[in-house]
Homo-oligomer: A and B are copies of this chain.
Amino acid sequence: MAPTALRKQSRKPAAAADKAPSGAAREILDAGAWLLRHRGYEATTTRAIAERVGIKAGSIYHHFRSKDAIVQHVLDDGVRIVGDAVLGELGALPKQAPPLQRLAVAVRTHLLASLEGGDYVSASIRAFAFLPKDLRRNCRVERRRYEDIWRKLIAEAARAGHVPKGVSPDAARLMLLGALNWAGEWYRPGGLSIDEISASYMKLAFGQAAAAARRRTPATKPRA
């Protein structure tokens, strides 16, 4: 009802809509991200997306080729967002920052992005499992790049002796990322804070040495 009065209008021609979605295209992606995060792939219908945006389902196809194009865009964006965030925080660290501090920063940033950083990252974690085969294959490119960040972080930590003997780097990485990714299943804003979670996870996985690295730019040495 009253379908025209509230619509916003974009003056700009939205020149390169494919590369940098703006206006309605961005709203469609936002709606898709929210639905993918909270309802999953199959329940993310074109009509549900349209309703959240405030348009009709058919109008979506003026901006995107198909539902799967939206889904893939959201999921790729999600991985890219968390990857950029982690790389950014790592880059802001002093160059000689110890491996455990770098890991702690990555853990905190990953949690922050996936739990409170918006729907894209969370969607890319939660919805991936039950994607159609071809969509999953297309998404693996971005995901592999992000995994490599963690492969490197774990390798650094292992080289510094922070990974116990008999624990393969793969096992350590998968355990840590598994715990991080699962946090979205139980995290609620009122309970454990993100800082508490990341500190606890680092302490549990890497022992007392993590406590010193927990605070950002601490002074290279333990404070006590």
Contact = CB atoms under 8 A, between A and B. Distances in A.
Interface stretch (A13-21, A24-32, A193-201): A193-201
A160 interface: no
Interface in A146-175: 163-164, 166-168, 170-172, 174-175
Interface string A91-130: 0000000000000000000000000000000000010011
A112 to B, nearest CB: 16
A121 to B, nearest CB: 15
A200 B175 CA distance: 9
Contact of A43 (B42, B172, B199, B203): B42
A204 B40 contact: no
Interface of A: 39-43, 126, 129-130, 163-164, 166-168, 170-172, 174-183, 185-186, 192, 196-197, 199-201, 203-205, 207-208, 211
24 contacts: A39-B130, A40-B40, A43-B130, A164-B203, A164-B204, A166-B203, A167-B200, A167-B203, A167-B204, A170-B192, A171-B192, A171-B196, A171-B200, A171-B201, A174-B179, A174-B186, A174-B192, A175-B201, A176-B179, A178-B178, A178-B179, A178-B182, A181-B182, A205-B205
The 5 closest A-B pairs by CB, nearest first: A178-B182, A42-B42, A40-B130, A171-B200, A178-B179
